[in-house]
Structure 1
Amino acid sequence: MRQYEPDRPTPVEVAAMRRSLRSGRAALARRSFLGGALAVGGAGALSACGIPAAGKSQGGVSADDHSATEKVVNFSNWPEYIDVDDSGKVHPTLDAFRKRTGITVKYTEDINDNDEFFGKIQPQLAAGQDTGRDLIVLTDWLAARMIRLGYVQKLDASNLPHAFANLSDQFRSPDWDPGRAYSYPWQGISTVVAFNKKALNGVEVKSVSDLLDNPALKGRVGLLTEMRDTVGMTMLDMGIDPGKFTGDNYDAVIARLQKAVDKGQIRRFTGNDYTSDLSKGDLAACVAWGGDIVQLQADNPDVGYVIPDSGYMTSTDNLMIPNKARHKTNAERLIDYYFEPEPAAELSAYVNYVSPVGDVKPYLAKIDKSAASNPLIVPDKAMRAKSRSFRALSSKEETAYQQKFAKLTGA
């Protein structure tokens, strides 16, 4: 194992600096994507696009599998969401997969927004046509919709021995895909409370209540434009389970958040652009995504975070095979490859989000001990116990809840 001198940056720090310089994934508002057409159009907008209503699934549509004769996988992902070498041109884990299997991965960073990408592929899926993609990465709420609409194929468990064996219990059976029949997580996303110690100037922040109620933070608090994270964290703070809440529970949370907005407690609702304000101290504290905090801490020792006693929200970006994909078996082999501990560790060392592989820590420690010991990258047992997920929504609920949240945020 290579030893890193104390005065040299670790791989996590190098990755963070590279992302900053290239204005990559962390600079994109990649999880603030529901303020547009879906939020205001909801089920009506879906119907207008010719998408079947929820509950009327077409079922996954397979195609002739050409994996045996065409050694390729067409893989669409988000920008800056995979390991890259120093040249910025080679993805080491994909290169290793090719050398081992003879399968070339045609990797495209063409997902910048869930809704936008869905609009790009939906006409082909609705028409029963090949999208030209064998593997895509979608955030859990859209993954749930894709399954509900019958737009993705059921996975063949016999091609996924590592995925089944090594998947962390934390991500094993979401309510929108019980037993992971149609998806496997690419990375997990932890939502926490972050702060700038210098900007706090001695004020203690341990919970969402501190963000919403402490007058010393008035006008210096940030919340996320992603409804499931902001509402979910507030639910936990109020003793409501985000996995089982009712409509009345949701309305109570919106009322509490509205009170904080009305009294000027909230500076603004943001996507990933909160990172600049937090680092500069314009935001004293905020609801934040764990991977961003890892990256910020590499440059700014004043940035810190806390896991509230009430718990924290977890979501996932997920690998799925769309209908009519030509290379389903090859795509499943690639999914399974990323659940082997070694490539999983290489990926986590670069992207800094939560690995879905349960035993990744000792392998990650060989690359970067600081990453392996960071609970925002490898949650320990106590942290995993505080993890909660937002329950799946019906089409009707999604429309109603997004409209209420959009009104709150001024979207």
Structure 2
Amino acid sequence: MLFSHTRAPLRVTLTAAAGIALLVGASACSASTPTDSSGTSTDAAAFPESGSGELNLFNFTNYINPDALTKFTEDTGITVNVDTFSSAEEMVAKVKTGSATYDVVSVSDYVTEDLIASGQLLEIDATSFPNGGNIAEAFVNSYFDEGRKYTTPYAVVYQGIGVNTDAVSAPVTSWKDYFSVPAGSEGKINLHDSQTMVIDAALMATGSEACTSDGEAYQKAFDLLEQFKPDIKIISSDGTIDRLAGGETVLSTMWNGSFARAQAQNPALEYVFPEEGFMMGADNLAILTNAKNPDNAKIFMNWLLEPENAALNADFIKYTSPITGIEEFLAEPGEGDAAVVIADAATMERAHDQKPCSAEVKEQYDKLWTMFKG
């Protein structure tokens, strides 16, 4: 039997988002008056009045509503060029090599501190933006960016498993079940091309935990992945929605928003919050220090903090939004429309916040992933 979860319209999930924010390390504190790096108070008066030209966005694949981009251009006159990546690790590597010529990037919680420390992100004081007050209070102070000095919140995400119950006859309730190749899934399994997501899952499936310092745990995780490998149809984070919905794959690692969009196309799909535990995270937007269009970037990020615009995007990506006032603008789900998948209170007890591992542990992750994909 699949673990309990709720499929609900996005309009009822903001309260849940606040609780999630606390779990991922945010503290529900009121925003203080922001200051610049010299300690001088800053406010919305310094915000660019208008923009023109273009904006270059580096984002996860299929992770923004095209209609929202069209509306942004209509509202501001700024054209958005979108390039995509498949994993946070891929994004970080490109940014750190200096080959990333983007303005705005999507940054996951667990890589944000590293990007700030290495000087890759521009300080922006997001709470001073005209729409900065729309950031839900619980998201203002987070472990990775206290006071929102460098980022604006974008979405709250859960990690889990998507199962085609018409094809997979064996029960799937855990990561162990997933990696055991349940009957009916042979050769039709999708594994995300995400080092952190996959290794975290393999560690939990073998009785350990993410970021463990136990070297033997990584050997067990590697052995499990090697045994699992022959039944993988594809290692890819792109196209997971269409493959699972269309039956090309019948078992897949999935983020809850992507799963909701797949389930809208195929009602035989069910979502599993694994019994060993699952990761949840917070994705954000930031501006690179080498951005060519930083003012346009600020205008874009502020635009997405407007509840009506945040709702337009949330209706498409199907993840919980950390923006207040969004509820009245969210579309009422019609017949067959995707509905966000959220965890109930009992399930949330198994959730783990997705924080960065130590440098030493990160080396273990890198080594295991290279060996597995090699």
- TM-score, normalised on structure 2? 0.69
- TM superposition shift of 1:159: 2.0
Aligned to 1:36: none
Q: What residue number does 2:57 align with? A: 76
Identity among equivalent pairs (%): 19
Matches within 5 A, 1:165-180: 165-167=134-136, 169=138, 174-180=142-148
Change (3 A) 1:403 1:217: farther
Check conservation: 1:341, 1:359, Cα contact below 8 A.
yes
After superposition, what is the alpha-carbon deviation per residue over 1:251-273, rounded to whole angstroms, capped at 9, x for unaligned? Answer: 41551452363277743561134
Whether the 8 Å contact between 2:314 and 2:321 is mirrored in structure 1 is yes
Is this contact kept in 2: 1:176–1:392, CA < 8 A? Answer: no
Q: CA deviation at 1:208?
A: 1.1
Distance 1:370 1:361 in 2: 20
SS of the residue aligned with 1:111? strand
Residues 319 and 93 from structure 1, CA distance in 2 versus in 1: closer, same or farther, beyond 3 angstroms? same
Can you list the C-alpha shifts for 1:223-246, whole angstroms capped at 9, x where unaligned?
32312112223444566553xx33
1:152 aligns with 2:121: yes
Distance of 1:218 and 1:157 partners within structure 2? 45
Displacement, 1:199? 0.7
Structure 2 Cα separation of the partners of residues 124 and 204 of structure 1? 45
2:199 to 224, 231, 235: 231
- Work out which of the residue numbers 107, 110, 114 in structure 2 matches 1:138: 107
Q: Please identify which structure carries the higher strand content.
A: 2
Conserved? CA contact 1:183–1:319, under 8 Å = yes
Q: Deviations over 1:65-109 (max 9, x none)?
A: 996576347341436443334xxx96124534x2xxxxx433111
Contact 2:134 2:324 in 1 (8 A): no
- Deviation of 1:383 after TM superposition, in Å, equals 5.9
**2:159 corresponds to which of 171, 191, 195:** 191
Matched, 1:278 2:251: no
- The letter of the residue matching 2:251 is A
Give yes or no for the alignment of 1:208 onto 2:175.
yes
Shift of the 112–236 alpha-carbon distance from structure 1 to 2, 3 Å rule, reads closer
Deviations 1:119-152 (A, max 9, x none): 4785489xxxxx5x54333344554432121121
- Aligned partner (choices 80, 89, 93) of residue 107 of structure 1: 80
Q: 2: CA distance between counterparts of 1:152 and 1:168?
A: 23
In structure 2, the residue corresponding to 1:106 is in which secondary structure? strand
1:407: which partner in 2? 371
Partners of 1:358 and 1:309 in 2: CA distance? 32
Give the Cα–Cα distance (whole angstroms) in 1 for the partners of residues 328 and 336 of structure 2: 11
- Establish whether residue 261 from structure 1 lines up as the match of residue 230 from structure 2: no
> Does structure 2 conserve the Cα–Cα contact (< 8 Å) formed by 1:232 and 1:390?
no
Unaligned runs of 5+ in 1: 1-10, 13-58, 99-103, 126-130
- Paired residue total: 328
Structure 2's unaligned 5+ residue stretches are: 1-8, 11-36, 39-44
One-letter amino acid of the counterpart of residue 165, structure 2: K
State how far apart, in whole Å, the 1-side matches of 2:230 and 2:154 are. Answer: 35
Which shifted more, 378-387 or 137-146?
378-387
SS in 1 for 2:311: helix
Aligned counterparts, 1:8-407, within 5 A: 68=48, 71-72=51-52, 74-78=55-59, 80-85=62-67, 91-96=70-75, 98=76, 104-112=77-85, 115=90, 119=94, 122-123=97-98, 134-160=103-129, 162-163=131-132, 165-167=134-136, 169=138, 174-201=142-169, 203-213=170-180, 216=183, 219-220=186-187, 221-237=189-205, 240-242=208-210, 245-248=211-214, 251-252=216-217, 254-256=219-221, 258-259=223-224, 261-262=226-227, 266-268=231-233, 270-271=235-236, 272-275=238-241, 277-281=243-247, 283-323=249-289, 325=291, 328=294, 331-357=297-323, 360-364=326-330, 366-368=331-333, 374-376=339-341, 386-407=350-371
Q: Contact conserved, 2:190 with 2:234, CA < 8 A, in 1?
A: yes
The alpha carbon displacement at 1:283 in A equals 4.0
Verify the 8 A CA contact 2:181 2:231 in the aligned structure 1: no
For 1:172 and 1:379, the matched residues in 2 are separated by 23
Paired with 2:181 and 2:49, the residues of 1 have a C-alpha distance of 63
Task: Report deviation, 1:323.
Answer: 1.8
C-alpha contact (below 8 Å) 1:362/1:372 kept by paired residues: no
1:66·1:326 contact (CA, 8 Å) conserved in 2? Answer: no
Q: Structure 1 371/217 Cα, relative in aligned 2: closer, same or farther at 3 Å?
A: closer
Mapped to 2, the partners of 1:180 and 1:66 lie a distance apart of 17
Distance in 1 (alpha carbons) for counterparts of 2:221 and 2:62: 36
Q: When the two structures are superposed, what TM-score results if normalisation uses the length of structure 1?
A: 0.64
* Counterpart secondary structure, 2:183: helix
Q: Normalized per residue, which structure has more helix?
A: 1
Post-superposition CA distance 1:31-89 (Å, at most 9, x none): xxxxxxxxxxxxxxxxxxxxxxxxxxxx99xxxx996576347341436443334xxx9
The change in CA–CA distance for 1:241 and 1:370 in structure 2 (over 3 A counts) is: farther
Task: Specify the SS of the correspondent of 1:210.
Answer: helix
